[in-house]
Amino acid sequence: MISRFILQILLLYALLAFADSILQLGLTPLAVKTPYLHTWIERGNGSSPMQQWPTFFTTTRTLGWAGMIRVDNKTFPWMGSLAPNVTTPVTSEITPTRSIFRIQAGQIQFNATFFTPIEPTDYARQSVPFSYMFLDGFPATDSQPHNIQVYTDITAEWVTSDDTQVIMWNTTETDTMVYHNLTRETPPSTVNNGDFAEDSVVYYAMAKRSGFTWQTGSDGDCRGGFSANGSLANSGDSDFRAVGSTTNQPVFAFSVDLGTVSPSSQLDPVVVALGLFRDPLVTYATESSMQNRSGYYWSEYSSIDQMITAFINDFSDARIRNGGLDNKILSAASAVSPEYAGILSLATRQIFAAMDITIPSAQPGQFNKSDVKIFMKDMGISLRTNPVEVIYGAFPALLYFNPSLAKDLLVPLLDFQSSLLYENPYAAPDLGAKYPTIPGNSSNTRTLAVENCGNMLIMAYAHAAKSGDGSLLSRYYSILQSWANFLIDNSSHPSGFVTADGLNGADMSNLAIKGIL
């Protein structure tokens, strides 16, 4: 069971990493899987959270994601700023892996669930940059049968922060599924603009089923066609154009005709998969060059088709696994207080979505599974990579979920500082502030040295003690010993040093204790 201490540290992590951003803004997580697939919707502003457009986590970028349901030939928008006949929110719930909205549309109620799987002990699954959205539970409040169709689309706003960029797209149909993919016409590599990845390919996928149709085209044609007919045209639009085409905005849509649904009907969930793919994920400084590193998922899958198929096929099992994880976390948290349970429901997805699990490519199509490095982006504050104080705050949670996560986050910091690229006699605060380009940080950060040396030594020891794996201590003994010597010389009466949150002053007990530990 999660200890009170781990729950408190999870709270600390949330406050450290997100105090000035999402937790204060009243946002609900939707698709939150990677540093760049990080989608939220605002709540508490007087309107239904499902009657407005989702945004990127910075809240400065709208991400067009629409949802409609058609009941007895009358269309009700349930997500996105669409009109008329808006739906009515009934209830909402947030767990560590999902956000669940109960919605009323005419005489029908249904659940819209945004489900981001957390797979802490399975790097292949955890690294897959996809999230689910599914609709289920369609009881009628009048106990009568009703004819129901559902619709969803995304816009090209997901692939760039610049609405003037021309977007290209394609739709792929296999025996079992259909997926749309879209990207900039000329995407740059590892370019970050206002925290937004400009080098992404976005995928929107659904398994084939009875009543399934798809379409790409203008927002008016797709949404209007569904509203009028309850289905889509199974046709593509090849007129590549700018994201922000005001009268002809491209959208990428799916619909399902559920037919006549009676009170006794047992319907399979309507499931879509949303993914944001980048390759390489990061470029990382080594002594010889800047190394491109890709997602760990390439050790398991040989193609995007295979990855998407596996993700869609895994939905039912992932739902069971993550239901168990939700229950385990929330039952332990609720034993402490309802407030802790609420914090964990927001913070857990954020911890995992801040990380990219990477491996290098030895040759095209061949990946070195033994060289795993995890990189954490400082979300909501800066573009810092592997910020020591944020990892330190999350460390007990990482050790609880899987000690290997903790180890593989420390390795990039220890590797860089053991190389010829780093000469300072104390621990660095991070690996630079240019994510996803990771040049390392060899600047003068001596004022933070006591804090960072103490944090690194505590984390290296904690990993060994929890996991029984002493490889970090033995492999990096020399640099860890040098940091211990620095603390011996500087922590008994620390002067000229500050804490990570900016506190300073002579003989600070917080820093002295950090040095002693």
Nearest-5° Cα angle at 215, 167 to 89:
95
Residues 6+ apart with CB under 8 A from 310: 301
In the predicted structure, residue 513 carries a pLDDT above the cut 80: no
Cα separation, 330 vs 181, whole angstroms: 36
467-498 pLDDT, tens digit each: 999 999 999 999 999 999 999 888 766 666 66
63 within 8 A of 31, measured Cβ to Cβ: no
CB proximity list for 389: less than 8 A, separation 6 or greater: 16, 429, 451, 452, 455, 500, 501
**Whole-number pLDDT of residue 48:** 66
Mean pLDDT to the nearest integer, 423-432: 96
pLDDT digits (tens, 9 = 90+) for 438-451: 999 999 988 888 89
- The rounded mean pLDDT for the chain is 90
Q: What is the mean pLDDT of residues 221-234?
A: 98
- Coil, strand, or helix at residue 447? helix
Residue in 184, 179, 180, 178 with CA at minimum distance from that of residue 200: 184
Structure tokens, 509: 């007990």
The pLDDT tens digits of the residues spanning 317-363 come to 999 999 999 999 999 889 988 888 888 898 999 999 999 999 998 77
**Residue that wins the pLDDT comparison between 511 and 168:** 168
| Whole-number Cα distances in Å, 95 to 45, 92, 342, 348, 510 | 22, 10, 8, 9, 34
| Res 195: pLDDT | 86
Q: How does pLDDT run across 289-312, given as a tens digit for each residue?
A: 999 999 999 999 999 999 999 999
Q: Which residues contact 233 (CB under 8 A, 6 or more apart)?
A: 213, 215, 217, 225
Is the predicted pLDDT of residue 203 greater than 80, yes or no?
yes
In this predicted structure, the answer to whether residue 2 has a pLDDT above a threshold of 50 is: no
pLDDT tens digits, 138-147: 999 999 999 9
Determine the Cα–Cα distance for residues 306 and 181; give it in Å rounded to an integer: 15
Judge contact between 212 and 255, C-beta under 8 A.
yes
- Given a cut of 70, is residue 220 above it in pLDDT? yes
Strand bridging mode 373-376 / 27-32: unpaired
Q: What is the mean pLDDT of residues 63-90?
A: 92
Q: Indicate if the pLDDT at residue 26 is higher than 90.
A: no
Give the per-residue pLDDT at 21.
41
Domains and CATH numbers, the chain: 66-303 (2.70.98.40)
**Contacts with 513 (C-beta within 8 Å, 6 or more apart), sequence order:** none
For residue 24, what pLDDT band results from cuts at 50, 70 and 90?
very low
DSSP codes, 177-244: EEEEEEEESSPPSS-EETTEESS-EEEEEEE--TTEEEEEEEHHHHHHHHHHHSS--SB-----EETT
Least confident of 77-86, 193-202, 233-242, 353-362: 77-86
Would you say 90 and 108 are in contact if contact means Cβ atoms under 8 Å apart?
A: no
- Average confidence (pLDDT) over 39-62: 80
Q: 3-class SS at 277?
A: strand
Residue 279 has what DSSP assignment?
S
DSSP one-letter string for 86-98: --EEEEEEE-SSE
Residue with tokens 């067009």: 64
pLDDT at 365: 73
Pairing of strands 74-79, 88-94: unpaired
Provide the 10 A C-beta neighbour count for residue 58: 16
Phi-psi domain of 338 (left: phi exceeds 0; alpha: psi -120 through 50; beta: other): alpha
Minimum mean pLDDT range among 4-8, 85-89, 284-288: 4-8
For residue 509, what pLDDT is reported? 59
H or E stretch covering 438:
strand 437-438
Strands (E), 51-95: 55-56, 65-71, 74-79, 88-94
pLDDT at residue 107, rounded to an integer: 95
- The percent of residues above 70 in pLDDT, for the chain, comes to 88
Residue 10 has pLDDT above 60, yes or no: no
Categorize the per-residue pLDDT at 20 as very low, low, confident or very high, splitting at 50, 70 and 90.
Answer: very low
Cα separation, 471 vs 89, in Å, equals 52
Q: Predicted confidence band at 130 (pLDDT cuts at 50, 70, 90)?
A: very high
What pLDDT sits at residue 205? 99
